[in-house]
A = this chain, B = another copy of it.
Amino acid sequence: MEYQKIIDEIAREIKPEKFPGEVAEYIPELAKVSGDKFGIHMHCIDKGHYCHGDSNEKFSIQSIAKVFTLSMAVRQMDEDLWERTDVEPSGDPFNSLTQLEYESGIPRNPLINAGALVICDVLLSQMKNPRAELLQFVRKLVGSDDIHFDETVAKSEAKHGARNAALVSFMKSFDNIHNKTEDVLDLYFHTCSLSMTCKELAQAFMIYANRGVILETGEQILSGIQTKRINAIMQTCGFYDEAGEFAFRVGLPGKSGVGGGIAAVHPGYYSVAVWSPKLNPKSNSALGMRVLELLTTKTGLSVF
């Protein structure tokens, strides 16, 4: 297959051990992962699968999970949701409080921390057990029950959670958080702790390439409009204050996490997940961005 050749070619060009970047260190669970890990899994809408390296190893998907909770919230309330969060790129680091202050507690978008915390608050108001429903949701997308929270990661996040606690209290002061601070944080930290492989991520993200439908089962999870909107948000807001750079170099809607994962889609064509733990100064996987840049350049397949 041609795509496999391209991926192999990219893998030969790229040397994870020589690539610059730093593994995230704010919690021990992330800090102890080897910086040399590298996996990629591409899942095409014609059902082709192409992969390389550590693509079947579980890693902490961290902020990539924000796309899943956003999708769940969109299914629950759609239009009203957009009064709780805007959909604009932030132009500021992912955990900034400054814009919240000028904009009355409405987060810039649902993929920065403030926005994802509002999404958690929404899920808490709408569901009896959102934590369990999140697991169930991702398991259905992947078609596997082997998706779990990493409780050690969730606990570590909680220990270093003062900034997120500040965000919740701050938005509460603007009446944009309705549940208990502890409950919002607990759901949020669990969200961040999901462990998945590149293959599983690519499978889960296939709905964003397939107009909201699970490719294998045909089940409609999101409407076409909902899918388009989530993709648009990923494109403009999915990479902290480097969303423009990712669009410029890669040209796909996607989302990154500080565990070194990136999941992206080319609507109508494919989903792809890549994992390499060393981060660039903007907290995105350095090698991951480069690999995806090469992939869209060599295949000529980007949304632009």
A interface residues with partner B (beta carbon < 8 Å): 86-92, 96-101, 108-109, 162-163, 165-170, 172-173, 181, 224-225, 227-229, 231-233, 235-237, 241-245, 247-248, 251, 253, 267, 296-297, 300, 302-304
Q: Give the secondary structure class of A's interface.
A: helix
On chain B, the residues within 8 Å of A90 by CB distance are: 91
Partner of A243 from the list B89, B100, B101, B242 (CB cut-off 8 Å) is: B89
CB < 8 Å: which of B169, B235, B241 contacts A163?
A: B169
B-side contacts of A225, CB under 8 Å: 297
Give every chain B residue within 8 A of A227 (Cβ-Cβ): 304
Q: List 24 A-B contacts (CB under 8 A).
A: A87-B244, A88-B91, A88-B242, A88-B244, A89-B89, A89-B236, A97-B97, A97-B98, A97-B170, A162-B172, A163-B170, A165-B172, A165-B181, A166-B168, A166-B170, A166-B173, A228-B304, A229-B304, A232-B248, A232-B251, A236-B243, A236-B244, A253-B304, A267-B304
Contacts of A237 in B (CB 8 A): 244
State the Cβ distance, A43 to closest chain B Cβ, in Å.
18
Known interface pairs A89-B89, A99-B91; A300-B224 also in contact (CB < 8 Å): yes
Q: Which residue of chain B lies nearest to A96 when distances are taken between CB atoms in the complex?
A: B101
How far apart are A153's CB and chain B's nearest CB, in angstroms?
A: 19
Nearest residue in B to A93 (C-beta to C-beta)?
A: B101
Apart from A228-B251, A236-B244: 14 A-B pairs, beta carbons within 8 A: A87-B245, A88-B241, A109-B244, A162-B170, A162-B172, A165-B169, A166-B168, A166-B170, A231-B251, A231-B304, A235-B236, A267-B303, A303-B303, A303-B304
Q: For A235, give its contact among B97, B169, B228, B235 (CB under 8 Å).
A: B235
Asked if B247 and A236 sit within 8 Å, CB to CB, the answer is yes
* Cα-based distance from A232 to B267 in the complex (angstroms): 16
Minimal beta-carbon separation of A227 from chain B (angstroms): 7
Instruction: Say which residue of B92, B169, B231 sits within 8 Å of A162 (CB atoms).
Output: B169
